[in-house]
C-alpha cells in the first residue's frame, strides 16, 4: 500500500482506544486485548464494566489506560444508575468513562435533564481524576441536535465528545468529526468510533479533527503502517 502520510504505527497507536465491547467477549479475549494494547502502545483499552478489574490488573504498571462504558449502548438508564456504574468502575481501576447521552430526552427537548445527567457523571469522573467522554450517537441526531449535544457536553465539563457506540444505525463519519471539532473547538477532545476498520479511515478521522479513535480493528489498522518514520510516497 502506498499513500501520502506522515503517520507511523506508534503515532497512530497512541491515539487509539483498543476496544472490545461485544457481549460474547470472554476473559481470555480481554487478556488478549490488553496484551495487544501494550504491544502496540495504544492509548487505552475500552471494555465493558464487568471486565474493568481484570483489565486494570493486567495493565498495572503500563502506560495503557483502562476505559469503560456507562449506560451502554442506549444511554437510557436513570442518572443515579449511571453515576453508580461509573463510580464502581472507577473504584475498580477505570481511568476513562465513555457514557452514552440520553438520546431520547435530547430529541424531546429535555435540555435541563440532559445537562444534569451529563454533569452528574462528569462530576464523579473528575472527582476520581478520570476522564469522561460523552457518546452522542450521531447517526440518530440532526445537525442541530449534534451541535446541541456537543455544547451540552462541553458545558457539563466533559473531556471528549464521541460520535457513536458502534451499536447504532451508523458509525463515525469524517463529516461528523469535522463538525464536532468545529462545535467544541479546543474546549474538548473529539473521539471517533464506530465502523473504523482501515488505516485510511483512521487517518481520515484524525485529519478531520479527531483526537482519539475507538476501534476493535486496531491490529489490522496498525499493521498497515510501518513501525518507524515512513518514506513519504509520491
Give one DSSP letter per residue of 123-143, joined into a string: HHHHHTT-EEEEE--GGGS-H
Residue numbers annotated as active site: 98, 162, 191
Q: Chain-wide mean pLDDT for the chain? A: 95
Task: Tell me if 193 sits within 8 A of 166, measured CB to CB.
Answer: yes
Cell numbers at 78, concatenated:
436513570
Within a domain: 231:
no
Average pLDDT, integer, range 188-199: 98
Give how many domains the chain has, as a whole number: 1
Q: What pLDDT is recorded for position 99?
A: 98
Task: Tell me if 77 sits within 8 A of 55, measured CB to CB.
Answer: no
Q: Which domain holds residue 27?
A: 9-223
| 131 exposure class (CB count in 10 Å sphere: 0-12, 13-18, 19+) | buried
Within a domain: 4:
no
Compute φ and ψ for 69, nearest 5 degrees: -110, 150
Q: What is the DSSP secondary structure assignment for residue 140, as one 8-state letter?
A: G
Q: What is the pLDDT of residues 156-170, one digit of tens each?
A: 999 999 999 999 999
Output the domain CATH number for residue 189: 3.20.20.70
Tell how far CA 219 is from the center of its chain: 17
Average pLDDT, integer, range 177-190: 98
Amino acid at each position: 500500500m502506498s499513500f501520502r502520510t506522515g503517520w507511523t504505527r506508534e503515532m497512530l497507536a497512541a491515539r487509539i482506544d483498543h476496544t472490545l465491547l461485544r457481549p460474547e467477549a470472554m476473559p481470555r479475549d480481554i487478556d488478549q486485548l490488553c496484551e495487544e494494547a501494550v504491544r502496540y502502545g495504544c492509548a487505552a483499552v475500552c471494555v465493558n464494566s464487568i471486565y474493568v478489574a481484570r483489565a486494570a490488573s493486567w495493565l498495572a504498571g503500563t502506560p495503557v489506560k483502562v476505559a469503560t462504558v456507562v449506560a451502554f449502548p442506549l444511554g437510557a438508564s436513570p442518572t443515579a444508575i449511571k453515576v453508580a456504574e461509573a463510580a464502581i468502575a472507577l473504584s475498580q481501576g477505570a481511568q476513562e468513562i465513555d457514557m452514552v447521552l440520553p438520546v431520547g430526552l435530547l430529541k424531546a427537548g429535555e435540555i435541563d435533564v440532559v445537562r444534569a445527567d451529563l454533569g452528574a457523571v462528569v462530576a464523579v469522573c473528575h472527582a476520581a481524576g478520570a476522564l469522561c467522554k460523552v457518546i452522542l450517537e450521531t447517526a440518530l441526531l440532526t445537525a442541530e441536535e449534534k451541535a446541541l449535544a456537543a455544547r451540552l457536553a462541553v458545558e457539563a465539563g466533559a473531556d471528549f465528545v464521541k460520535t457513536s457506540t458502534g451499536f447504532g444505525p451508523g458509525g463515525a463519519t469524517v463529516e461528523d468529526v469535522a463538525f464536532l471539532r468545529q462545535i467544541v473547538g479546543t474546549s474538548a477532545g473529539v473521539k471517533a468510533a464506530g465502523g473504523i476498520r482501515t488505516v485510511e479511515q483512521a487517518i481520515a478521522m484524525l485529519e478531520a479533527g479527531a483526537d482519539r479513535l475507538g476501534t476493535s480493528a486496531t491490529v489490522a489498522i496498525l499493521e498497515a503502517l510501518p513501525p518507524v518514520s515512513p518514506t513519504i510516497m509520491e
